[in-house]
Amino acid sequence: MQSQPELWHGTTILTVRKGGTVAIGGDGQVSIGQTIIKANARKVRQLGKGDVIGGFAGATADAFTLFERLEAKLEQYPGQLMRAAVELAKDWRTDRYLRRLEAMMIVADKEVSLVLTGTGDVLEPENGIAGIGSGGNYALAAARALADGPLDAEAIVRKSLDIAADICVYTNRNVTVETLKA
């Protein structure tokens, strides 16, 4: 069976951890091919009881399914984001329905930031900065350059997403940012 070419583009999600704060931000553009379908999608949100934040790249319905599954894991393992993420990754990798979902997620709580993929990866960025989506590498590079400067985590996320929007045609400036303080 041949896989279908990727038609959905249009996400940049970035997380920065600095000075006791973690921020996750994302742009609002959803495109199919060369057409912008929606400019104000909300791809970053609070999860669980508000003690976890997350953002997604990929198919929207798939990402919402994964967010719901992660919230269920967080209820099962309260206050243990790493454990909940590992359990979700196991299910995502082995469950016949879930393994067809096409999305990536960045999630964070007060202690840890994680990138979750459908291949079973649960990755913790060593410098507290990670980016995913079509403009993720542009935002990641900008955030790494700004990390040693005077800006706080949220300001770095906003500036980096702005820089990514200058480079990636699938990224816009309609940004949502969620933060947690330690």
Q: Given the residues 11, 12, 171, 176, select the one marked as catalytic.
A: 11
Q: Which residue is associated with the tokens 């992660």?
A: 70
- Please, which residues bridge with residue 47 across strands? 52
Tell me how far apart the alpha carbons of residues 109 and 145 are, in angstroms, rounded to a whole number. 24
Rounded CA-CA distance 64/130 in Å is 20
Task: State yes or no: is 35 an active-site residue.
Answer: no
Q: At what angle do helices 81-94 and 60-76 cross, to 10 degrees?
A: 130
Residues assigned a catalytic role: 11
